[in-house]
Amino acid sequence: MEPGTRQIMEADRVRAPNIRDVARLAGVSYQTVSRVLNNSESIRPSTKQRVIEVIDEIGYRPNQAARALVTSKSRTLGVLTAQTAHYGPATSLRAIEIAAREAGYLISTTSLISSDYDSIVENLEYLMNQAVEGMIVISPQVRVFEAIKQLAIRIPLVTLDSTGRDAPRSLSVDQIAGAKMATRHLIELGHREIVHLAGPQDWIEAEARMRGFLDEIDEADLRTHPPILGDWTAEFGYHAGRELVGYRDFTAVFAANDQMALGLLHAFREAGLDLPRDISVVGFDDIPEARHYWPPLTTVRQDFAEIGRRSIAILLDEIHGDARVDLAQILPELMLRDSTAPFASH
Amino acid sequence: MEPGTRQIMEADRVRAPNIRDVARLAGVSYQTVSRVLNNSESIRPSTKQRVIEVIDEIGYRPNQAARALVTSKSRTLGVLTAQTAHYGPATSLRAIEIAAREAGYLISTTSLISSDYDSIVENLEYLMNQAVEGMIVISPQVRVFEAIKQLAIRIPLVTLDSTGRDAPRSLSVDQIAGAKMATRHLIELGHREIVHLAGPQDWIEAEARMRGFLDEIDEADLRTHPPILGDWTAEFGYHAGRELVGYRDFTAVFAANDQMALGLLHAFREAGLDLPRDISVVGFDDIPEARHYWPPLTTVRQDFAEIGRRSIAILLDEIHGDARVDLAQILPELMLRDSTAPFASH
DNA sequence: CTTAGTAATGTGAACGTACACATCGCCAAT
DNA sequence: ATTGGCGATGTGTACGTTCACATTACTAAG
């Protein structure tokens, strides 16, 4: 191509300024500009100053693609999540995003539409194609682990679950402890017939909460019906509640999340029951609305934002090779409100 | 560097396979592999087949950074959002992510921590540094537009608001129409003293809902107090409700979102009022929980997922140069439930 | 049997940056 | 005056891909 032609093209589509443009205008070599960009030492303050001025003046932005290409570091972390519209995951995700940005990392999120195996694989492939340096799995489901193993994913991985699975490092609020606290609270109030409205059993959190419930029931030498397996929604809680009022062989319900608890309250009240006198209800999560339900919901609080922040800290540590952040579990907290009351036979 | 040294390095850290490795193993040139990757025509099926087999076999993944560098297309879209933990934005965001992925685009999200001008600029800069090809602003606030203008951002932009501002193309559920529907409903029930619990006024949606309310009040020749300016939370709704019960110079409240409506219900019920006989309440959004509030909330439904999908469609159209998707506003829908009742003086 | 035309494939260059190494200039110690 | 050392800056090259253009293989028409 002749020089002339070239110049016309350049004039045509204004090329974004690059490191050499900056260098030329600042009267230094491109390498010096690179050093400024990467905060290298051994650069004279006056030179640095001059370069920075040129950068600001012409609005130069480093080309991330070129950087990624040469360093073979994408500075991107992948997040695999389901149900992001829910308060918990959404809050964690937001904290993750902010923490990642502060550390200079980009987040690439992928939301599972369906939870079948192929879909999970497809989503993981998507993240791998972004050359993510590490991965966080929020609200993990059992099949996700199979897929990760199957794909032989080798990058650092942090999952937000409580079970300490083999492959990845995991972290979360201690779901089992939370469920036990909730259940114990009901037992201490004198309830003996307690129903558990659980989450979908392929969700690790749901499984853990159910385990905590059953353990506590067991320790108190009580009996219980097999838990009802729900889908986290208020709608399901409502229908389960309508079903339950037909039996009345229980005095309290522990729901695996606040939304389902809300559905229960709705159904019970609609059936003319007096809450919490007739039936006590405990939820899980302590979403901001829970304290304004009627009656205000007794529930187990977990700090979703803190989980998000810590997961990033752990992941970055692992990426940088110093796995020193401890995985101490975060303890949840029982929030006592008005949806639970002592059991009084009447 | 001598060849020998080089080989040791390669053996040291296993380099990911590149297009040339594939080409060598398939017995073709790298350009042919490139053609297969880009679905170029005029390539013999048998050749294509062979290349694909090699790709699968050695697990080759195209290097996105190299692609982005040479094409100067990042295939990334930026999303600027606030309050992502809320149901509405979170739902839209999820739909955006899924739609973008289907179109082969990556989403880079940035959440506004604070809404001051500097913070907005910082977040926009962050997105520009990712070389995003287009931008979506969810739940836009007024200052965002100033910042965009100030930074002279030239990439395609879609905002999710209802006001048809000058610079960008915008799209949303018609907030004003929704607010008018809610207000008219209350008026038709016979209410004459209606209070509006508005959202923060630097939020464009909040402003639009308030405008709709005031317009409708005006058209019905009614009077109203100046709206209460809230912050979207149930907590605020609750405190506003406690304040309001002291006056009792109204018979209905239109809250700018469901969460604040929930807080109102809580406060009113706590004050011993009979809902909806004593006071009618209307919300906005129709989050999934709204129908399970007590009483089930009359509210204005908007389809957040649809907004998300459409915004991507519009943005991609604009990026590809054919701006043909129309911006017809999506109409919201009034969901009649039990939190509103005819006004009867008693 | 030649020739033209097209389908299929190959070659050279460029994208913008960071790394490894080379060079320059200066000052202190001999 | 010479040397060594170090701080500051410059030069060559590679990263993996696509684009523009060049070449080869094949097919059909004369």
Q: Spell out which residues of chain A touch residue B266, defining contact as CB-CB under 8 Å.
A: 292-294, 296
- Pairwise CA distance, residues B203 & B219, whole Å: 24
**CB count in 10 Å sphere of residue A52:** 15
CA nearest to B155, candidates B119, B117, B127:
B127
CATH number (3.20.20.450, 3.40.50.2300, 2.40.128.640, 3.40.640.10) of B74-173+304-319 reads 3.40.50.2300
Q: For residue B43, which nucleotide's C1' is closest to its Cα?
A: C8
Protein CA at A44 to nucleotide C1' at C30, angstroms:
29
Superfamily (CATH H level) for A70-173+305-319: Response regulator (3.40.50.2300)
Question: With an 8 Å Cβ cutoff, are B294 and A109 in contact?
Answer: no
β-pairing, B157-159 vs B169-170, is: parallel
Partner residues linked to B298 by β-bridges = B282
The distance (Å) linking the CA of B21 with the C1' of C7 is 25
- Each residue of B97-122: pLDDT tens digit? 999 999 999 999 998 888 889 999 99
Q: Which of residues 268-297 of B touch A (CB under 8 A)?
A: 269, 288-289, 291-294, 296
Query: How do beta strands A299-301 and A333-335 pair?
Result: antiparallel
pLDDT one-digit tens code per residue, A105-126? 999 999 888 888 999 999 999 9
Instruction: Give me the CA B2–C1' D10 separation in Å, rounded.
Output: 23
| Residue ranges covered by each domain of chain B | 3-62, 74-173+304-319, 175-302
Q: Given a cut of 50, is residue A5 above it in pLDDT?
A: no
Given phi > 0 = left and psi -120 to 50 = alpha, else beta, which region is B232? left
Residues 315 through 334 of chain B touching chain A, CB cutoff 8 Å: none
| B108 interfacial to chain A (CB closer than 8 Å) | yes
| Bases on strand D under 7 Å from any protein CB | 7-12, 14-21
CA of A42, C1' of D6: distance in angstroms: 10
Q: Which CATH number fits domain B175-302: 3.40.50.2300, 3.40.50.970, 3.10.150.10, 3.90.180.10?
A: 3.40.50.2300
Provide the pLDDT for residue A330: 83
Report residue B5's pLDDT band, with 50, 70 and 90 as the boundaries.
very low
CATH architecture assignment, domain A175-303: 3-Layer(aba) Sandwich (3.40)
Question: Quick one: pLDDT at residue B166?
Answer: 54
The answer on pLDDT for B9 being more than 50 is no
Is A226 in CB contact (< 8 Å) with chain B?
A: no
Find the residue in A nearest to B297 (Cα).
Answer: A266
Residue A315 predicted with pLDDT over 50: yes
Contact A65 B61 (CB under 8 A): no
**In this complex, do B97 and A111 lie within 8 Å of one another by their Cβ atoms?**
yes
Instruction: Identify whether the C-beta of residue A332 lies closer than 8 Å to the C-beta of residue A185.
Output: no
| Residue found under tokens 């907004």 | B307
- Cβ contact A69:B63 at 8 Å: yes
Distance from CA of B47 to the nearest CA of A (A): 24
Distances (CA, A) of A137 to A81, A161, A285, A286, B247: 6, 9, 19, 22, 50
C-alpha B266/C-alpha A311 separation (Å) is: 36
Q: Please say whether the dihedral angle defined by the alpha carbons of residues B122, B127, B133 and B134, taken in this order, is positive or negative.
A: negative
Banded model confidence at residue A172, pLDDT cuts 50, 70, 90: confident
* Mean model confidence pLDDT for chain A: 89
On the question of a common fold for A3-62 and A70-173+305-319, the answer reads no
CA atoms lying within 13 Å on the CB side of residue A60: 22
Question: Are the CB atoms for A303 and A346 separated by under 8 Å?
Answer: no
How confident is the model over B2-14, as a mean pLDDT? 39
pLDDT digits (tens, 9 = 90+) for A262-288: 999 999 999 999 999 999 999 999 999
CB neighbourhood size of B42 (10 A) = 5
Q: What is the pLDDT of residue B149?
A: 85
Residues 6+ apart with CB under 8 A from B53: B26
Query: Coil, strand or helix: which one is A299?
Result: strand
Supply the pLDDT for residue A4.
Answer: 34
With 70 as the cut, is the pLDDT of residue A162 above it?
Answer: no
With bands split at pLDDT 50, 70 and 90, how would you rate the model's confidence at B10?
very low
Distances in whole angstroms, Cα of residue B288 to Cα of each of A161, A223, B109, B171, B285: 26, 34, 24, 23, 9
Residue with tokens 């993944």: B61
| A92 shares contact with chain B (CB less than 8 Å) | no
In this structure, are strands B134-137 and B169-170 parallel, antiparallel, or unpaired?
Answer: unpaired
Place of tokens 């309508």: A242
Test mutation, B98, B102, B292, chain A, max A CBs within 10 A: B292
CATH T-level assignment (fold) for domain A3-62: 434 Repressor (Amino-terminal Domain) (1.10.260)
